[in-house]
Each structure stands twice: as C-alpha cells, then as structure tokens.
Chain A
Amino acid sequence: GESVGLHLPTLSVQEGDNSIINCAYSNSASDYFIWYKQESGKGPQFIIDIRSNMDKRQGQRVTVLLNKTVKHLSLQIAATQPGDSAVYFCAENNNNQGGKLIFGQGTELSVKP
C-alpha cells in the first residue's frame, strides 16, 4: 500500500517533566493493549499491558489509561529522563486470534536535558 505520514508524531518534553503519549485504537472489540518502547536500532521493548476490564494500570514510573468509550489509550511517564527518548507504540489484540497484535504508527518522544 501507499506510505502515508512518513514523519512520526513527535512529543518533546523537558527532563523531569511528565510525558503523556496518546493512541487511538481501531477495533472496539479489542480486549488487550500493550505499550512498547523502541530505541534507535533496536527491537521494540515491552513496557506495560492492560486488559479491557481495567481503566488504569501502573508500573514503575509508567501508567496506562484506557478509555473504551472513545477507543483511546494513553501512556504516562513520570519524571521523564533522557533514557526515555525513543519511539513508543501501542498495540491491540482482538480476542486472541493467534495472539496477533495490531500496531499503531508510533510517537517519537524527545527528552531535552
């Protein structure tokens, strides 16, 4: 297919501030969601997941919020650090189907020292 939107959305934050990365998912039947972090030249790294029966889940310095009404997912990173600079992807799973994940385009987070 055609390549659309070659430039990723970018979020630039100051070191120490909180970051919020948003994701709109496509399928109202999806019941499982994941956030990944991808640093330049590396494979995606699992951050946190959430099931559709939850609205919020917290990890170490990260919180994922799920709003099923508007099909929206967000990742909050507290006290953002330079090492958090990366591309962040959300992914969804629709009732297993071989465990396949559908990935979003990603958002590039840039942390200014």
Chain B
Amino acid sequence: DAGITQSPRHKVTETGTPVTLRCHQTENHRYMYWYRQDPGHGLRLIHYSYGVKDTDKGEVSDGYSVSRSKTEDFLLTLESATSSQTSVYFCAIRPGLAGSYEQYFGPGTRLTVT
C-alpha cells in the first residue's frame, strides 16, 4: 500500500463520541487526502492537505476536522460521531510530480457508529 498505514483498521463507536483516525506515510509526500466510500456514492473527498498545517475542505467535510502537524501524519477527527458517518475511510498520498495527479491509497478503516 505504497508506504501508507491507517489506524485503527476497524472501529465500532457509539453516537456522540469523538473518533480520530490516523494516516501515516513513510514516503515524505507533500499531499495527503481523506476520503469516505459508501455504496452508491463511490469515493468522496472529505479533507486534504498540501503541507504541514495546510489543509482544505473537500466535498463532504461537514462533521469532520483534520490536522497535520508532521509531514508523515494526517489525522481525521469526527467530533461527535453520527450514524451517517458509518463508512469506510481511505487515506491517500500524492507525490506531487509535475503534470501528474496520481494518488496512492492506504488499506482503509471501517468505522461503524451505533
């Protein structure tokens, strides 16, 4: 998985609790992304980062926040989890080579909110 790990790989939590997912890369790439994947919606971008402490919103950012204090780590936080946030979450990294936008994905985290 291109030097990307995600933790935890599986989590079950209750509605209203905070949850933090971690993405760790060993590639020293500048760009990192968080997606969620749901049936019928494909992969949708939640937030992304273009450098340490530089982040921006994606198309489905409501209810999520992110932080990137080190190049290698990109954290996704659900401040107060809801059942609609039950999903599979993928982190991706991008080398940022000129003219190329290929992203490499981690193994995913399956989150269930009960």
The residues of A with any CB-CB pair to B shorter than 8 Å are 1, 3-6, 32, 34, 36, 41-46, 49, 51, 89, 91, 93, 96, 98-101, 103-106
Contact = CB atoms under 8 A, between A and B. Distances in A.
Contact of B104 (A46, A93, A98): A46
Nearest to A94: B101
Interface in B29-47: 31, 33, 38-45
Contacts of A91: 43
A36 B38 CA distance: 16
A45 B99 CA distance: 19
Question: Which of A41, A44, A45 counts the most chain B CB atoms within 10 A?
Answer: A44
Contact of A43 (B1, B58, B94): B1
A30 to B, nearest CB: 10
Interface in B45-60: 45, 48, 50, 56, 58
B49 to A, nearest CB: 9
A23 B90 CA distance: 22
Interface size class of B (residues with CB under 8 A): 20 to 34
A109 B90 CA distance: 22
Interface string B92-109: 101010011111111110
A104 B42 contact: yes
Nearest to B1: A43
B101 A43 contact: no
A89 B103 CA distance: 13
B102 A49 contact: yes
Contact of B101 (A3, A42, A45, A101): A101
A88 B44 CA distance: 16
A99 B43 contact: no
A41 B109 CA distance: 10
B105 A98 contact: no
28 contacts: A1-B41, A3-B39, A3-B41, A6-B40, A32-B99, A32-B101, A43-B106, A43-B107, A43-B108, A44-B90, A45-B105, A46-B102, A46-B104, A49-B102, A89-B42, A89-B43, A91-B43, A93-B101, A96-B101, A98-B31, A98-B48, A99-B103, A100-B45, A100-B48, A100-B58, A101-B101, A103-B44, A105-B41
